[in-house]
Structure 1
Amino acid sequence: MNVIMTEGYVISEEIKVLKTTDAIPLCRFTFSTPTHKLNCLITGKQAYAFLYEVEKGTRLSLTGRINNRNQFVVLNYDVLAKPSYFGQIFNYKGHRLPFAKSRQIE
């Protein structure tokens, strides 16, 4: 079994939780390294912590292996940096708002 270590950013809009028949949680996300885009899976108890800690734009260090479907199976992860939301506007429920399009008033 070849173990691979890589660093990069999460580029998925959302981390998807897939249902399995044996009730083991399985999370899927897309990860971008300087050379590749990887489809990643994380399972077990780590999936719950991962789902809570990580969002789009988070910089991670991953350790894992490639399975027979060319998916990167994460064995261990470290959060290197969270995305910065400095200067962005949020609504009352804590969701980010898109920047308003400027209108010309005549």
Structure 2
Amino acid sequence: MFGIGGGELLLILVVILMLFGSDKIPEIARTLGKGMAQLKHATNEIKHEIQKGAEENGLDIKTMTGGIQEEIAQAKESMNNTLNPVELQNPVTEIKEEFENLSGPIKRQM
């Protein structure tokens, strides 16, 4: 969750408890909850307005995003077909073997 570990979260909670006291924490949590609910409501309202405006202008957002997703899938497939990992692995293996052959005598001398 946000890159915060358990120990860090515990430290943050202890600091909050020390700063505000145990009687203020429920009030702060309630206020934060109401704020998050209002933010979610506002973003949903904005999304609805955008969709409504697009539909009024004859645009279908669902088909537009579906087309983009299909294009992305096709691009990924063509990249996978073009860059076959087996074809890339052979030159890497050959270079690694050559390097091992060259560095072998050096390793044995040490």
User: TM-score scaled to structure 2, two decimals?
Assistant: 0.21
Higher strand share goes to which structure? 1
TM-score (structure 1 length as normaliser): 0.22
